[in-house]
Amino acid sequence: AAALDALRTVVQKQDFVTWATGQSRRPGPPWDRAEVSNFNAIDLENEIFVNHNAGEGGGFVFDQGVIINGENSWQLNHFSGTAAPMAEPDYATQSGPFIRVTAPLLIRQLQARRQAAHWLGEAEVDGRMHDIVTLVMETGPGLALYFDRQSHMLTRMERALPPFGQVEYQFLDYETLGGVPFNQSLLLFVNGEPNLEIDVLETQINQPLDAWLEIPAALERVGEVRPDEFASQEIDEGVFLIGGNGTYSLFVEMADHVVAIEGTVVVPDAIAELRKHVADKPIRYGVLTHHHSDHIPGAAAYAKEGATLVTFKDNEAVVREAAGDPEAKLQFVDQRLSLSDGSRTIELYDIGPTPHAEHILIAYLPAEGIVWEADHFPVPPTGVIPPAVPVTRAFAEALERLDLEYGKLVGAHSPRVAGPADLATALSRQPANAAAAGGL
């Protein structure tokens, strides 16, 4: 206990193996596998946190991180070569993922929040009796911690994480460092399926973090990162981009109904916001661009509205499950589908297979020159357009192949209304891959 109380800083390098549960190119297993390098440094007393992670997966290439250090906090993107100050840094949210996979940091959380902790009971795990204790961290769902009665070690943890489901952590291969037991590996399962395997390469404790708080000189300083507040934009007459916190939907007003595009978790709130602008027209179609677990939760809200869910035949099972209604109305797209009321038209195209999904829809409003995409042209809310990744190149090739004339590009994960010049910028830029100060 004394050694744990004396723990001030932790620096750790890890290798990840990830399985894209519910996020693979196809809607069922086997899930796509990827490898990630990860670095974390945390100062528990001063609430300082540093992360740097790099890898590839799902058609994306990333090399990025954060420095959370009070007013001197930064979002770093080594791939695009930028450093952006953070207007409202959130230590609890940013450090949470590292704390949740590091046993002694969870125990420190439990000590600090013991007044809100409760004994839930006992359970047998792998033939050994365990005590189950709840932990509610500052952010995120409640956690159930399993302690082995004989060794007193944390061996399991569980939590429910909408929209993904039940998450289980297994803490393995303990080694003692400075009197503190650290798990050297971790397995994480989502709904019983393998999702993450962590192998700890190196751990340091009670070392100064100064070396990891420097901004690499090669990074270009850009505008500050501000919270992505929930909001609506009418980007053309009767065309509403609604959402926040990196999740958006598009609502298109037709003569006597509305077509909704995208199925992220924001949909229920977005529908409520839509009703401030379009009060009396039903949502007739809810278009689900692809099967990923963060792009189908809105199916339930659309089904409740009585809308027909537009998807692919291959995705029928996961969409019906997300809708929570085996009798939900579905319409399947085979390469292309046109939705029209005689005066306004929405064209849906399957641009798959791409590195992200076997089937994926884009929406095109030809009269307005608007293209909607999901997960293929990642743009920040403001600032520098990053270099194209494989999914962006696949998207650009599809637009050229379809010969679409457009002036606005909008997507499921940004409030930014981009255009052809922004896409051209992404395609022309080369990755910066600026060297990090320490870390990976």
**143: CATH:** 2.50.20.10
Residue 324 lies in a domain: yes
Residue 434 lies in a domain: no
Residue type present at position 186: L
pLDDT per residue as tens digits for the range 121-179: 999 999 999 999 999 998 888 999 999 999 999 999 999 988 778 999 999 999 999 99
435 pLDDT higher than 80: no
Same domain, 376 and 315: yes
Q: Can you tell me the mean pLDDT for 254-280? A: 98
Which pLDDT does position 440 carry in this prediction? Answer: 60
CATH number of domain containing 340: 3.60.15.10
Q: Can you tell me the mean pLDDT for 255-269? A: 98
349 pLDDT higher than 90: yes
- Percent of the chain residues past pLDDT 70, beyond the cut: 98
Q: Classify 231 as helix, strand or coil.
A: strand
Which pLDDT does position 312 carry in this prediction? Answer: 99
Residue 412 lies in a domain: yes
Distance between CA atoms of 194 and 387, rounded to whole angstroms? 31
Which pLDDT does position 257 carry in this prediction? Answer: 98
Residue 10 lies in a domain: yes
Number of other CB atoms surrounding residue 229 within 10 Å: 8
Same domain, 317 and 289: yes
Q: Give me the number of domains the chain comprises.
A: 2
Which pLDDT does position 21 carry in this prediction? Answer: 92
User: Quick one: how many helices (H) and strands (E) in the chain?
Assistant: 8, 27
Distance between CA atoms of 161 and 144, rounded to whole angstroms? 13
Same domain, 215 and 286: no
E strand or H helix at 33: strand 33-43
Q: In what order do the strands lie in the sheet with 308-311?
A: 231-236, 239-244, 247-253, 258-261, 283-287, 308-311, 330-332
Same domain, 250 and 369: yes
6: containing domain: 2-221
Q: Can you tell me the mean pLDDT for 369-392? A: 96
Same domain, 241 and 350: yes
E strand or H helix at 23: none
205 pLDDT higher than 80: yes
Same domain, 70 and 209: yes
Same domain, 148 and 287: no
Same domain, 207 and 102: yes
Q: Which of 50, 78, 74 is nearest to 64 (CA)?
A: 78
Same domain, 215 and 239: no
Q: Can you tell me the mean pLDDT for 245-255? A: 98
Which pLDDT does position 305 carry in this prediction? Answer: 97
Which pLDDT does position 202 carry in this prediction? Answer: 98
Number of other CB atoms surrounding residue 231 within 10 Å: 12
Same domain, 201 and 96: yes
Residue 433 lies in a domain: no
Please, are residues 412 and 298 in contact by the beta-carbon 8 Å criterion?
no
Could you please report the per-residue DSSP string of 308-325? EEEE-GGGHHHHHHHHT-
Same domain, 120 and 53: yes
Distance between CA atoms of 437 and 422, rounded to whole angstroms? 30
Distance between CA atoms of 439 and 273, rounded to whole angstroms? 43
CA 160-56-194 angle, 5° bins = 35
Domain stop point among 221, 251, 276: 221
69 pLDDT higher than 70: yes
Domain stop point among 221, 242, 260: 221
Q: Can you tell me the mean pLDDT for 319-331? A: 95
Which pLDDT does position 79 carry in this prediction? Answer: 95
Domain stop point among 188, 221, 254: 221
Residue 147 lies in a domain: yes
Number of other CB atoms surrounding residue 258 within 10 Å: 22
Residue 437 lies in a domain: no
Please, are residues 364 and 349 in contact by the beta-carbon 8 Å criterion?
yes
Task: Quote the tokens at residue 204.
Answer: 């340091």
Q: Can you tell me the mean pLDDT for 283-312? A: 98
439 pLDDT higher than 80: no
Residue 439 lies in a domain: no
Same domain, 215 and 235: no
